[in-house]
Structure 1
Amino acid sequence: MADHGIRGKTVLIAGGAKNLGGLLARDLAAQGAKAVVIHYNSPQTKKAADETVAAVSAAGAKAIALQADLRTAGAVEKMFKDAVAAVGRPDIAINTVGKVLKKPLAETTEAEFDEMSAVNAKAAFFFLKEAGRHVNDHGKICTLVTSLLGAFTPFYASYAGMKAPVEHFTRAASKELGARGISVTAIGPGPMDTPFFYPAEGADAVAYHKTAAALSQFTKTGLTDIADIVPFIRFLVSEGWWMTGQTVLVNGGYTTK
């Protein structure tokens, strides 16, 4: 029977330098992961990536940081090849990469549409492709989406709209990789208390989001705390392997399907 624990496993996290990805890297190292590959997007994030590498190493896991702009298939392929060359084939691959744009359809430019498509949909597609090629049998793959997939709302067409295809990518990959014992899931947090959230929202919207979830009053800010998302991802990439092909919204009662 396959081992579905974290201990002794090799992990690759796209967007693993800071915020949710950085906390997840630290958590999985603390759970006994053997090696953690921490991807980061731009040179501006290198300091955060180095700090996460140091924290993961202090927890006893081998850690490396890899910089890549994942908007092209070639960059995603190279990241996986470099990771395999450095630490071996991953057992767990997690994609936390994403970009938010809150803007009316009528004001969204073609360049903005293309950027949102590249970051949120294209990168996820090719991440799943390369994960399927490189992850060990009985491995786990998880992609971050958004709880806006369960919302009936304006202004997020290019963001939620470009996360929506990941649901089908996840279903398709789970069917194609199931014969190898690989589970594939997507997780959609509610609006998270991170630096990515606030620039996209006005003061009125921030105030609304802080009270919109059923359990808002029980968090520090009213928003989703990244510390409350980590255990769900940890579960999905370990003992929760029997759930596959699913998109799970984890948001304290913010939206539902």
Structure 2
Amino acid sequence: MKPAAFEYHAPATVEEAAALLAELGDQAKLIAGGQSLVPMLALRLAVFDHLVDVSRTAGLRGVRRESGGALWIGAGTTQAAIERSAEVAEAVPLLARATPLIGHFQIRNRGTLGGSIAHADAAAEYPAVAVTLDAELEAVSAAGARTIPSAKFFLGQWTTELGADEVLTGLRFPVWRGRTGFAVEEFARRHGDFAIAGAAIAVELDPDDRIRRCGIGLFGLGSKPERATAVEAELIGRHLADVAADEVGRAAISGLGPCAADLHGSAEYRARVGAAVVARGWQRALREAGDG
């Protein structure tokens, strides 16, 4: 099939893009890499009268360190650029390790950070990384700019806090220092497929091998990326030798409620796989932090 007819717009600036969205209303849709939107348009699962292409819009690409120590990445930055970036690998290892798991290299050449975040697929890696690290999202509309905490951004499958008239311009990731370890673990039927269950893990140890802070993000298990905050709180202050990875995995999943069920697996199956990937990721991250 082919997409329904639409009018194409290519704004030069973010302000122009926001003005177009405000003017055109619900009949307009942003497109960046198009790796999610184009197939939906081709199958006519989505129809819009106007497409606003921000793939060449100024100010939406790039990686930079900020004075407060955070790393800012433009929403239009391609996944391939993130994968190649030594600065991302050094400052936000969790994001760098999640990137090769996204689709295939052809997809990553076009797909963007902001596109994945705004699409908000519950089985996608980038949304889970953003939630795990407490990233902040920057958005611009004709009314001005605002910052949205990642914890409040994802509302459900393909549903976010982003307004229809807003352009996602970038994400700000905190940079973890000290004795830190990171891991992304997922189970998919084939490499590049969306995960049946996945976990993004970050942990920091103090000099006495006690857990100073940690983040446990979960994806593919519900309608949005989740954070096992109750389990994280219980782990703070515990010695790494007193924490069993299987215990962490079971506790993280039990706090979620019923897992999603579909053709790829029942809720019970996803829960078992989810506990296993959390445990495996926890072991890897803790080992890295201890070695550091």
Q: If the TM-score is normalised by the length of the shorter chain, which range does it land in?
A: under 0.3
Structure with the largest fraction of strand: 2
> Greater share of helix residues, 1 or 2?
1
**TM-score (norm: length of structure 2):** 0.24
Which structure's relative contact order is higher, taking Cα pairs within 8 Å and 6+ residues apart? 1
Structure number, greater radius of gyration: 2
Q: TM-score, normalised by structure 1?
A: 0.26
